[in-house]
Amino acid sequence: MASKLTWDDLLIEAPDLDSGILAQGWSWLVKGEFRAIAASKFGDWFLERPNGAIQMLDAVEGTLKEVASSYSEFQELINTREKQEEWLLSELVFTLHEKNVVPSRGECYSFKLPLVLGGKAESDNVEVCDFRLWVSICGQIHEQTRDLPEGAGISSFRVEE
């Protein structure tokens, strides 16, 4: 049973990130120069832009937004319980650790039924998946659904290798 989470439980740090992954599904949203500084265990990326701003590519929501104006501000924010829960889903990760659902190197958590397709952010809807695959699938699903009105029915979608 988990009693405490570490940064390794919550983040995938820069040395283990391949920015080329973002080209496989997210080029429609992520443009320009950036440096990947970290990713959450759910496949969300934190990107540093040339002006120093930090953006979060939310793979679950399909959005890209600025979360800090500098790396130092980002470090300060990510060390708060509120941002750990909002950005890293720390409470869900803790629950998964208690259930002994823990990704290995090169893996992350994924939603069996993605939230954009009606899934819930609950431990029973989470499994371990290859990181590259999950990030690519999320990008492709969000690209295909981005112009649909909220609540629109989805009869099918395709995932390319």
- Residues 83-110 have pLDDT tens digits of 999 999 999 999 999 999 999 999 999 9
Least Cα distance to 58 among 74, 38, 42 occurs for 42
Give the pLDDT of residue 151: 64
| Angstrom distance (rounded) from CA 88 to CA 93 | 8
Give the least confident one: 13-22, 29-38, 96-105.
13-22
| Angstrom distance (rounded) from CA 20 to CA 136 | 11
Give the pLDDT of residue 152: 59
Least Cα distance to 75 among 44, 103, 48 occurs for 48
20 — pLDDT class (breaks 50, 70, 90): confident
And the tokens for 54?
């930090």
Position 6: which residue type?
T
**pTM for this entry:** 0.86
